[in-house]
Structure 1
Amino acid sequence: MNSVDLAFLPALEQARLIRSKEISPLELTEVYLERIGRLNPALGAYVTVMADQALADARAKTEHLVSNPDDLPPLFGVTVSVKDLNPVEGVACAYGIKAACDRIADQDDYIVSKLRQAGMVILGKTATSQLGSLPYTEPPGFPPARNPWNLDYTPGGSSGGGAAALAAGLCALSQGSDGGGSLRGPAFCCGLVGLKASRGRISFSPVGERLSGLAANGPLGRTVADTAALLDVLSGYEVGDPYWLPDPDPSFLDGLHTPLKPLRIGYVTRLDPIGEIHPVCRQAIYETVQKVEDLGHTAEEVSFPNLADLIEPFTVLWECVIAEVGVPFVVLEKMNRWLYWRAWRINSGAYLRAVAKLQRVARQIVQFCQPYDVLLMPVYMHPVIKVGAWKGLRSPKILDNVINWVAPCPPFNASGQPALAIPTGFDPNGVPVGVQLVGRPAAEATILALAAQLEQASPWSHQRPAFATDPPPTSDTTKLLIPKPG
């Protein structure tokens, strides 16, 4: 197996090869670090590469595998990237702010602890838009993150760096977060599987979450099974969390093997007051409808509730969190300065009214979804934009553009429902397109199972961007660092 094939191998298959001692954690980590060193300068996916820490961890895990191969954690030795909004102890956490690059975290985020407990090797911190506020990843002072399928295009945001890294074979799995599409959007842009978990599924300990329940951490994978496995790792209640859900039984990964009864699916091709979705995205919906019907499910077109009552309160919360985070005004980029300024016009009463209005809208959304097992939605209203496409625009215009692009995502941040982005194909520019599967509250298992059926019917993980598939001249084949048993 050459190093390219190894880098793009599903994470669960990598874990199996490690357990059987056909590859080692150190070998795997070295493959990814070589690829990061070679490809990341053009891609801008990682802002911090934890090479020394990753190699030391991988060596220790390789020694552990030789001396104590039994009872290994589920993803032992598999590599992962962490978004630069989530602290890793002893490593810079800049939140997309150049002036904060020397800010060293003094503790792990809860989800980082979960990754370590699962035996994963953390390769580095991936790029995010400044404060995670925008659906593209171009924070001032950093190289823009680019889409490995076409470097002229964005990998999305704010989890754009993690999506770019995963799609380019610079890690086996990526962690992201989603406060308004920030995980599903990058999955859409980069041809990945990205899950915004249900509210309360994944803890925000120890810091907490500032968006009144809108945000959620979640997994990015190249396959549905990999994504389910990482969701199992990240899930769980931490004492004191304001929201919580019971652990699933069976696990999300094991649940993929449970037969799925015929589902009632509602599909959406228009969102008012935005209007019709782009023909490329609409075609992805129609093609997916055909596939789910071929799988024995029923699908009917539905009219989603008008989003007019959602946009204003959602924007208020978005603005207020920029002002509340405590970053000096002078270090903010243009768009975030404008949002910061708008937030100063909002008093506490207006903020609380916005939260209450979002809760009323959320109740309407959940009630609308109740008759359906799954809602089939666009991820974004139109295909991927180019890097820098909106850079020269005035801030109010950028806000309009953002709303009109990401509109299908925020409703489910408001409602707390699980939502899964899956790839369906490519647009005329060679950039991925996908759809969004939305479940009832706490029903990740249903949308993951449906996605697994769709993946089996039309596999996608074998597709790789040309940018990332040329093997280096010195790494044509991998070398076994641990002999096979016997």
Structure 2
Amino acid sequence: MKQSEYLAHDAVGLAGLIARREVSAAEVLEAAVSRLEAVNPAINAVIYTDLAAARAEAERPREGPLSGAPFLVKDYAAHVVGWPTSAGSRLYQHEVAAADAPIVSAYRRAGLVIFGKTNLPELGLDATTEPDLHGPTRNPWDVERTAGGSSGGSAAAVAAGIVPAAHASDAGGSIRIPASCCGLFGLKPSRGRVSFAPVSDGIAGFDAQHAVTRTVRDSAALLDAVCAPQIGDPYSAPPQQRPFLEECRRDPGVLRIGFTTEAFEAGVISAECRQAVTSTVSLLAGLGHVVEEFAMPAGLDAAVAASSAVLAGHIAADLDDRAQQLGRPIVEADVEPLTFARYQHAKGYSASDYVRALRIVHGYGRAVAGLFSRFDVVVTSTLGSPPVALGVLRGAAPGAAGVARRAFMPNTRIFNLTGQPAMSMPLAWTDGGLPVGVQFVAAMGAEATLFRLAAQLEQAAPWAARRPRLI
């Protein structure tokens, strides 16, 4: 299979070629491997491969809309039996998964050929992918800039054409941030839509698993493959009426859409990102939707502040569990400065603080849910600016980096706290050719609304033909 042919198709398209016997799954995998060898040294997106296992898997593809399509998983949560699972940290670098996670089993049943794992910041705790363990992932649109985080390795791999889609997760924007940085479609599902089994949950329900993709239909097909609840899940999303892939073929109708060009948490939205929103609003109005400016309900700052206590508690629990496994305390040399600072910070919270914080967050979730009695969808800038230079967000001083981080991602985290589905779409580019994402949010469980609207926008303002210089 020629590289030009491989790059021309999304995952559903590749699976269609294989189903029609125009090409074999083995040939498609070799095209992915060739692409990996050509571009990964420049971007450092993929940090582990098992080509022997993948080649064996490609010889026995299963039936399904994704059968035979090559795929990568983030080195977090999506454990693959026998593979290392470092979560980007020295503390776990020698850990090997004893079994496939249920999401990986679901990917295999869908026929995906998983051949490697992608880079992420340590424990997925940053908005840029620059871990000490594996080194920085570079943005294919400009290798001196961040690919975003924490699913930066997955986004860079898709943007560079290694795979058409890759697993990702999102606890504060970690699907949408790298999707915006790398010019991709990235949807964070509703709380409980995709199980975190076998673990209890993802940071009190803040975290979500799904994917970054080049096309809307790939995202829908992948979500169809993994959205079955697992026994014992603490959260569940409202069941969908029909497959999400089918929703992509349905007209969204006339939607009531709220929009803002403001930053929710901190800083000021850049001119490029504001323009992306206003241009999108004009496009939506031209498509017949009813658009109106909106403001977030009062209490946002308190909810964000409270969420810090929840996140700190989960970091502390994870590292304390690791200390128990190792039979010794966690020391500063075990982890990166940001992780250790958060670990120490957690020691200042009590159990009462944790419960009170959750009450504040859940209370604000009810207020935001009320927005969707007025609107079907709300639209914001995904980020505060286009992708910044490597090193800006990571920084030597956690305090300075924290200020930059909040200004970079002011609009994503809140919808992790409240649980609604949210997607970033690559609907704008800067004059210098960098992608700019626009964020769309719908009511809890309303991924169908987002997929219908996304498919309409993809047709009205297609982006797939735009490729980074690396391609």
**Shared fold per TM-score greater than 0.5:** yes
What are the equivalent positions in structure 2 for 1:116-155 lying under 5 Å apart? 116-155=108-147
Give the structure 1 partner of residue 252 of structure 2: 260
- Work out the CA distance in 2 between the residues paired with 1:261 and 1:135: 35
Give the structure 1 partner of residue 301 of structure 2: 308
What are the equivalent positions in structure 2 for 1:76-475 lying under 5 Å apart? 76-85=67-76, 86-272=78-264, 274=266, 276-306=268-298, 307-326=300-319, 327=322, 328-329=330-331, 330-467=333-470, 469=471
Give the structure 2 partner of residue 69 of structure 1: none
- Work out the CA distance in 2 between the residues paired with 1:153 and 1:105: 32
Gaps of 5+ in 1: 65-71, 470-486
Q: Output the amino acid matched with 1:56.
A: A
Please state how far the C-alpha of 1:2 moved relative to its aligned partner: 3.0
Give the structure 1 partner of residue 326 of structure 2: none
State the Cα deviation string for residues 426-477 of structure 1 (Å, max 9, x = none). 224422101011001100010111111111011101211121x2xxxxxxxx
Q: Output the amino acid matched with 2:303.
A: L
Give the structure 2 partner of residue 75 of structure 1: 66
Q: Secondary structure at the match of 2:308?
A: helix
From the superposition, tell whether residues 291 and 405 of structure 1 become closer, same or farther in structure 2 (CA, over 3 Å): same
- Work out the CA distance in 1 between the residues paired with 2:237 and 2:391: 40
- Work out the CA distance in 1 between the residues paired with 2:394 and 2:247: 44
Matched, 1:5 2:8: no
- Work out the CA distance in 2 between the residues paired with 1:374 and 1:429: 30
- Work out the CA distance in 2 between the residues paired with 1:334 and 1:410: 22
Q: Output the amino acid matched with 1:78.
A: A
Gaps of 5+ in 2: 323-329
| Matched residues, number | 459
State the Cα deviation string for residues 389-435 of structure 1 (Å, max 9, x = none). 24444212222222222121111111110001100122244221010
Q: Output the amino acid matched with 2:341.
A: W
- Work out the CA distance in 2 between the residues paired with 1:11 and 1:200: 25
- Work out the CA distance in 2 between the residues paired with 1:7 and 1:273: 38
Please state how far the C-alpha of 1:10 moved relative to its aligned partner: 1.3
CA contact (8 A) 1:8 1:169 kept: no
Q: Output the amino acid matched with 2:372.
A: C
State the Cα deviation string for residues 156-202 of structure 1 (Å, max 9, x = none). 00000000001111112111110000111110010111010001111
Pairwise CA RMSD of aligned residues? 1.5
- Work out the CA distance in 2 between the residues paired with 1:50 and 1:118: 19
- Work out the CA distance in 1 between the residues paired with 2:365 and 2:352: 20
CA contact (8 A) 1:210 1:321 kept: no
State the Cα deviation string for residues 53-86 of structure 1 (Å, max 9, x = none). 111111233xx7xxxxxxx122110111101002
Please state how far the C-alpha of 1:273 moved relative to its aligned partner: 5.5
CA contact (8 A) 1:235 1:247 kept: no
Which of 87-96 and 236-245 deviates more? 236-245
From the superposition, tell whether residues 21 and 362 of structure 1 become closer, same or farther in structure 2 (CA, over 3 Å): same
CA contact (8 A) 2:91 2:335 kept: no
Q: Output the amino acid matched with 1:372.
A: F
CA contact (8 A) 2:265 2:410 kept: no
- Work out the CA distance in 1 between the residues paired with 2:349 and 2:266: 26
CA contact (8 A) 2:268 2:407 kept: no
CA contact (8 A) 1:268 1:304 kept: no
From the superposition, tell whether residues 440 and 390 of structure 1 become closer, same or farther in structure 2 (CA, over 3 Å): closer
State the Cα deviation string for residues 92-131 of structure 1 (Å, max 9, x = none). 0000013533211001111101100101100211011100
TM-score by length of 2: 0.94
What are the equivalent positions in structure 2 for 1:1-40 lying under 5 Å apart? 2-40=2-40
Q: Secondary structure at the match of 2:212?
A: strand
Superposition misfits of 4+ residues, deviation over 4 angstroms: none
